[in-house]
Chain A
Amino acid sequence: MSESNAPILENRHAAGSAAAVRAEGRMARLFKEIWRYRLSYLFIAPFMICFVSFIMIPVVSAFLLSFMSYNSLEPPRFIGWTNFRYMVSEDLLFLKYALPNTFKFAAIAGPCGYIASFLLAWLISILRSGWRKWFALAMYSPSLMGAVAMTIVWLPLLSGDRIGYLNSILLEWGLISDPILWVTSKEHLMTSMIVVTLWSSMGIGFLAMLAGILNVNPELYEAGKLDGIKSRLEEIWYITIPSMKPQMLFGAVMAIVGTFKAGSIGTELSGMNPTPQYAGHLIMNQIEDYGFIRFELGYASALSVFLLLLMYLSNKFCWGLFGSKEDE
């Protein structure tokens, strides 16, 4: 900068070498920095090793495998977009059953479960603290059951003969004249799946929202009252939800991931794989079908990439709803 009289060539040379030295210096400084924090890296190493090997590598290799043909015996062969083209044009099971079923299942079970968790959490938060604990436990208890036990719980209730509890009650009340096949007919399987999923949807997201509501600053409600908020509905809309947006987002993420990864519930409820006339066939079932039965791992990976993208986009959508860009 200062030596304006120096020959241009020399100047440029000096600048170049200075840049090189600076770059080298930056690298060295980075290394020194990394070395200085070596303990931090040691701390995160155990988690990162597992994270990389069981989450990152599988996700990345799913992306790579989705462009290949691979049957686990011969080495993978690059085939470009063929898997995806097959998915959207020829895979009838996917187009006719897995895709619409997944959309239907996720569009009903996801938002309904989410809204129900919020409303229940809100109702519980109104109670005195002594009561809250027990109602929260009652709502959360289905999640304590776990997936395996859940089907055992519901099967006898939904059993298709007259011994099934639901059928026997409906028969007694005269609402139906013949027992209904709740889990083994294609008309009712999806409904049963959604109801059972809703029943067990008060999970970790529900607890997060409950905690979020309980932590809203009470002064805000007082202030809101002075500002002319009259009904409780207005209170929820203008105070509760805006001040617990982060927890709402967490709950939404949990709900989305939970509904899209559901797969075994249809086969477990109906006791058949594939489900009767593919009525409960979800994308996860299609992935397992291609991956572990037909051994078309490339195509199965393409399906899982599609599912990951669906999850990602729905999450982005919720981010838009609840994300805190600028506080209003």
Chain B
Amino acid sequence: MKMPSLSKTLRIRRRSKLFRMSRFEKAVVFLLILLSAFMLLPLVYIFNHAFKPYEELFVYPPTIWARNPSLQNFVELFHIASDSIVPVSRYIFNSLAVALLSVIVVTGVSALCAYPLSKHKFPGHKLVFGAIMLTLLFAPETVAIPRYLVVSQMGIMNTYWGHILPMVAVPVGVFLMKQFVDQIPNELLESARMDGAREFTVFLRIVVPVILPAVATIGIISFQTAWGNIETSSLFMQDEEMKTFPFFISTLTTNMANNVARQGEAAAAALFMFIPNLIIFLVFQSKVIATMAHSGIK
């Protein structure tokens, strides 16, 4: 008897809230559009800069939109590079190889580690997880010097391993994946074991499909890190042939402050760095948000 009246009041309240919201919502949309303009303006401008022909870079007052878009900057970017000892295709190949390999290795290794940490109560699991949480609070970049010593002792300088291995241990990755594995009910794992599934089969057939959003997120993060990383190139690689594309760009742009001459090429290079990240993020965006819901530290 009470139900209809309750639902009625609820409906009225909701409608009135909706009405009030829509005005508020408009203000929020307006504010957010302004803020996004601030965030996006540099990107819009770099996009145009990359397509500006040489003369337009020096125009005063500077313009945002390219009037006669051309590919001159991209051509020139590859041209300077072919003059140098190492062709630019080599840098790009290195970057792609390092980025793809580290995505595969990081996601695989983190998932393998997250599963027992969450579901097997092996002796010392608390200690291991505690250590990982503790390093979440640190940035490994701060200890670059001992890292350099470790890498040189291991003899992986100037190899692809030198690019990948130091980047494999991502505490955030294991942490996020463990949060996801925590959600899998133990009964599900138990019943699979009863049916005679081995641990590795359980991992592949049950755990991996459930944590797929987290795998995608960590994959994106590690791709971005590896794709934009110059630390390994500048510290662990002495061979010019083993360095990556972002490192090449950073040599291009040193002393670029107050120097317009190479801005077009630099913008083209920046665009080239940005596009893969953007595409990958767009494809997996919903997965990322779903994963981040479980990012809380308790």
Measured CB to CB, the residues of A under 8 A from B are 30, 33-34, 37, 39-41, 43-44, 46-48, 50-51, 53-59, 61-62, 65, 120, 123-124, 126-128, 131, 133, 135-149, 151-157, 159-165, 168, 172, 183-184, 199, 202, 204, 207-208, 210-212, 214-215, 244-247, 249-250, 253, 256-258, 260-261, 263, 268-272, 284, 287-288, 291-292, 297, 300-301, 304, 307-308, 311-312, 315, 324
Interface membership of B168, Cβ < 8 A: yes
| Interchain nearest-CB distance for A313 vs B (Å) | 10
Interface membership of B80, Cβ < 8 A: no
| Interchain nearest-CB distance for A242 vs B (Å) | 12
A-B contact pairs, 14 of them (CB 8 A): A47-B110, A47-B169, A55-B169, A58-B146, A59-B143, A124-B32, A126-B25, A126-B28, A141-B278, A207-B288, A208-B292, A212-B296, A257-B137, A307-B142
Q: Which of A56, A152, A156, A250 contacts B269 (CB 8 A)?
A: A152
Q: Which of B133-169 contact A (CB under 8 A)?
A: 135-147, 149-151, 154, 165-166, 168-169
Residue of A nearest to B266 (CB): A152
User: Which 7 residue pairs of A and B lie closest in terms of their CB atoms, listed nearest first?
Assistant: A246-B296, A146-B228, A271-B257, A37-B122, A47-B113, A211-B292, A261-B139
Interface membership of B5, Cβ < 8 A: no
Residue of A nearest to B199 (CB): A39
**A312 surroundings in chain B (CB, below 8 A):** 137-138
Number of A-B contacts (CB under 8 A): 317
A52 and B76 CA atoms in complex are apart in Å by 44
| Interchain nearest-CB distance for A76 vs B (Å) | 11
| Interchain nearest-CB distance for B272 vs A (Å) | 9
A211 and B292 CA atoms in complex are apart in Å by 6
A142 and B278 CA atoms in complex are apart in Å by 10
Chain B interfacial residues counted at CB < 8 A: 102
Interface membership of B94, Cβ < 8 A: no
**A315 surroundings in chain B (CB, below 8 A):** 137
**B145 surroundings in chain A (CB, below 8 A):** 62, 65, 287, 291-292, 297, 300-301, 304
**B116 surroundings in chain A (CB, below 8 A):** 37, 39-41, 43-44
Interface membership of B62, Cβ < 8 A: yes
